[in-house]
């Protein structure tokens, strides 16, 4: 859909215009005929146009009401396409599941909502097969980070608990109109069939991880003051003088288990 629609700052719109990048994304997604795809923020439809002929069904969720009728008129005749004029942060994605087939979610996400939107989707992970997103590069670096790196934090731990994270390739600003001020990256998130570590209370686990990273330069003993006794620290075998960024997902789970058992 070629259009003179002006990108809107309040929606964080940066429309992808580099066809080579679009093809690279389609290859990474590797759509199959029986897939049910959901595209978040189709914008002018450059990705929609390439994906629609390849899959059984494509739903799109678009916040900008001005784009909805244009997308509808262009893509409804081309395949099994439905567009939802909605805010993805409020949208119930699982309601789109028509049979037992889980959803494959794709999107060039507005940078200002990418992290809350990923957590919104994580809450509905039982109906999702995988996710391919274009995000700000620094967010992808944080999602994929390993312990002992400056990018590793609460986001890394919580997302890696739920998903295998694969940083695929970077996209330069000039691939967009208007060009964003930052580099972008494509990430693949594949939900774990079973989480890699055992956590009984996920909300308590998230709170623990959040507190551990509250002040990055401080030790676990300082950030988790009053959470564990000296005996618990000893029993769990983790030195409280360490910093949160040195702990693996498995070690965070051990801390959570120590709290659960008291």
- In order of start, what are the domains of the chain with their CATH numbers? 9-191 (3.40.50.150), 202-261 (1.10.8.100)
| Residue 102 token pair | 């889980």
Rounded Cα gap, residues 164 and 133, in angstroms: 14
Instruction: Give tens-digit pLDDT for 40-98.
Output: 999 889 999 999 999 999 999 999 899 999 999 999 998 899 999 999 999 999 999 98
**Which of left, alpha, beta for 83 (phi over 0: left; psi -120 to 50: alpha)?**
beta
Work out the angle at residue 18's Cα, subtended by the Cα atoms of residues 142 and 151, and round it to the nearest 5 degrees: 10
- Residues 6 or more apart whose CB falls under 8 angstroms from that of 20 comprise none
Rounded Cα gap, residues 233 and 239, in angstroms: 7
Instruction: Give tens-digit pLDDT for 14-49.
Output: 788 899 999 999 999 999 999 999 999 998 899 999
Q: Residue for token digits 């979610």?
A: 105
For residue 64, how many other CB atoms are within 10 A of its CB?
18
| Residue 188 token pair | 């693949």
Instruction: Give tens-digit pLDDT for 188-237.
Output: 999 999 999 999 999 999 999 999 999 999 999 999 999 999 999 999 99
Q: Are 55 and 78 in contact (CB under 8 A)?
A: no
Q: Are 153 and 109 in contact (CB under 8 A)?
A: no
In this prediction, residues 148-154 reach a mean pLDDT of 96
């Amino acid at each position: 859909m070629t259009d003179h629609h002006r990108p809107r700052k309040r929606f964080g719109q940066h429309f992808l215009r580099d066809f080579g990048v679009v093809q690279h994304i389609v290859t990474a997604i590797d759509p199959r005929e029986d897939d049910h795809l959901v595209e978040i923020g189709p914008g002018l439809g450059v990705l929609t146009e390439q994906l629609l002929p390849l899959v059984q069904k494509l739903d799109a969720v678009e916040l900008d009401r001005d784009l909805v009728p244009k997308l509808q008129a262009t893509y409804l005749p081309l395949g099994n396409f439905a567009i939802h004029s909605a805010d993805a942060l409020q949208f119930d994605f699982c309601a789109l599941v028509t049979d037992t087939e889980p959803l494959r979610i794709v999107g060039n996400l507005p940078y200002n909502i990418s992290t809350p939107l990923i957590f919104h989707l994580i809450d509905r992970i039982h109906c999702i097969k995988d996710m391919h997103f274009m995000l700000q590069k620094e967010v992808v670096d944080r999602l994929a980070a390993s312990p002992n790196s400056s990018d590793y934090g609460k986001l890394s731990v919580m997302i890696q608990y739920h998903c295998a994270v694969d940083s695929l390739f970077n996209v330069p600003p000039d691939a967009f109109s208007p060009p964003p001020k930052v580099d972008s990256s494509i990430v693949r998130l594949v939900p774990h069939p079973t989480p890699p570590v055992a956590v009984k209370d996920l909300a308590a686990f998230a709170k623990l991880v959040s507190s551990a990273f509250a002040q990055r330069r401080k030790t676990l003993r300082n950030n988790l003051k009053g959470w564990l006794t000296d005996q618990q620290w000893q029993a769990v075998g983790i030195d409280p003088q360490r910093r949160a960024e040195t702990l693996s997902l498995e070690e965070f789970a051990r801390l959570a288990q120590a709290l659960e058992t008291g």
